[in-house]
Amino acid sequence: MRVLGVDPGLTRCGIGVVDSLPGRRARMVAVGVLQSPPDMSVDLRLLTISQRLDAWMDEHVPDVVAVERVFAQHNVSTVMGTAQVAGLAMVAAARRGVPVAMHTPSEVKAAVTGTGRADKIQVQRMVARILELAELPKPADAADALALAICHLWRPAGALQGGDRHQLTPAQRAWAAAEQASRGPRR
Amino acid sequence: MRVLGVDPGLTRCGIGVVDSLPGRRARMVAVGVLQSPPDMSVDLRLLTISQRLDAWMDEHVPDVVAVERVFAQHNVSTVMGTAQVAGLAMVAAARRGVPVAMHTPSEVKAAVTGTGRADKIQVQRMVARILELAELPKPADAADALALAICHLWRPAGALQGGDRHQLTPAQRAWAAAEQASRGPRR
């Protein structure tokens, strides 16, 4: 299975493609950051990002597109652009008939590090270890996009439907807890 | 000049096309509401709205697309979808080389009613009067899209660059005040 992860952002949008391998391993196919110049008008910035998202999807033909779930209360100054880029990624996938999965930042951190409160550097280190990269994936946006893709590959689907938690790894249990917490009431 | 106005929304997206006529008059070309079913996944809802925005732009070939400016602090539960649909409208315009203008709700209200605090029914009445419609445009989303287009046609460009305010109508002065207020510090 090939997952394309998108860490949405108007100034910097992280993007990463990961293939699952036998034996719960994963391989990085490509990683990058789509940028748009802050001095350009928003419509042209969104068009730039949209065209580059389309190019990545056409080149890598993912089975699933995983997008970071954006919350309205998080970083008010940039949330509109972030939401808009997330929307463009969703439409680019839907237009190709590719399913879209949304994962929260804490789900992603828990999936790759075992804790929903991991910091950026912990995520980068674990992504590098999981994908057997010689160097830490940089910048953080790129690492986050790879982490999103890994999170989707490793999501403990059984756990969410009440499966046997004894068979879960610590990372999977943390993931399930973060996932459940994210379903609670929120404003 | 032909303006296509978009009052963005994921469940209901108002859309309206208005032509300017000589003597500060305006004519309604088309009006409608793009809807997407709330029980559909967000990616498919966005795709539905995106395809219908494309169809409207291809059919009516506007000179400008006017989109309501969305603020992050406004209506947290729906703001993400609203921002995403606004982004789709911007990209649809940019892809066709059509310029995009953003107007705040108070600018729009001031432009058509003379006050930035007008209620929905006042806006509907003034839109009907300006466009010489036999009935009030309904629903409110549709009226707001027409009001956005009128706001763009009637924007007092001179006033914003410090033009002679004595030559402005009351509606234009209210518009300029609302525009200036909206440029103030904001979070």
pLDDT tens by residue, B109-118: 999 998 888 8
Domains parsed from chain B with CATH numbers: 2-182 (3.30.420.10)
Measured between alpha carbons, how far is A144 from A106 in angstroms, rounded to an integer?
Answer: 11
Q: What is the ipTM of this complex?
A: 0.81
Contact between B53 and B84 under an 8 Å Cβ cutoff? The reply is: no
CB contact under 8 A, B91 and A41: no
Residue B124 predicted with pLDDT over 70? yes
Q: How far apart are CA A48 and CA A71, in angstroms?
A: 23
pLDDT at A166 over 60: no
Would you place residue A73 in the very low, low, confident or very high pLDDT band (cuts 50, 70, 90)? low
Asked if pLDDT for residue A58 goes beyond 80, the answer is yes
Q: What is the pLDDT of residue A165?
A: 37
Q: What is the pLDDT of residue B160?
A: 37
Quick one: B106 exposed, middle or buried, by C-beta within 10 A (0-12, 13-18, 19+)?
A: buried
Answer whether A104's CB lies under 8 Å from A116's CB: no
H or E, element range at A138: none
Res. B186: pLDDT tops 60: no
In angstroms, the Cα distances linking B124 to A111, B82, B118 are 51, 21, 10
Does residue A64 have a pLDDT over 80?
yes
Active site residue A141: yes
Please, are residues A89 and A109 in contact by the beta-carbon 8 Å criterion? Answer: no
Residue A26 has pLDDT above 80, yes or no: yes
Which distant-in-sequence residues (6+ apart) come within 8 Å of A174 by Cβ? A110, A111, A114, A115, A116
| Beta carbons of A46 and B90 less than 8 Å apart | yes
Cα end-to-end span (Å), chain B: 34
Residues of B with CB below 8 A from A43's CB? 90-91, 93-94, 99-100
- Quickly state the pLDDT bin for B162 (edges 50, 70, 90): very low
On chain A, the residues whose CB falls within 8 A of the CB of B73 are: 76
CA distance A170 to chain B (A): 30
Residue with tokens 């969305």: B70
Show residues of chain B in contact with A68, CB under 8 Å: none
Classify residue B129 as exposed, middle or buried by CB count within 10 Å of its CB (0-12, 13-18, 19+).
exposed
| Model confidence pLDDT, tens digit, residues B12-21 | 999 999 999 9
Measured between alpha carbons, how far is A160 from A149 in angstroms, rounded to an integer? 18
Q: How many C-beta neighbours within 10 Å does residue B73 have?
A: 12
CB contact under 8 A, A42 and B88: no
Task: State the pLDDT at residue B182.
Answer: 55
| Residue A168 in this model has a pLDDT that exceeds 50 | no
Q: How confident is the model at residue B108 (pLDDT cuts 50, 70, 90)?
A: very high
What confidence category does residue A171 fall into, taking pLDDT thresholds of 50, 70 and 90?
low
Verify whether the Cβ–Cβ distance B46 to A94 is below 8 Å.
yes
Q: Which helix (H) or strand (E) holds A3?
A: strand A2-7
Contact criterion met (CB below 8 Å) for A12 and A138: no
Flag whether pLDDT at A80 surpasses 80. yes
Q: Is the pLDDT of residue B120 over 50?
A: yes
Residues B30-46 have pLDDT tens digits of 999 999 999 999 999 99
Chain A residue closest in CA terms to B43: A90
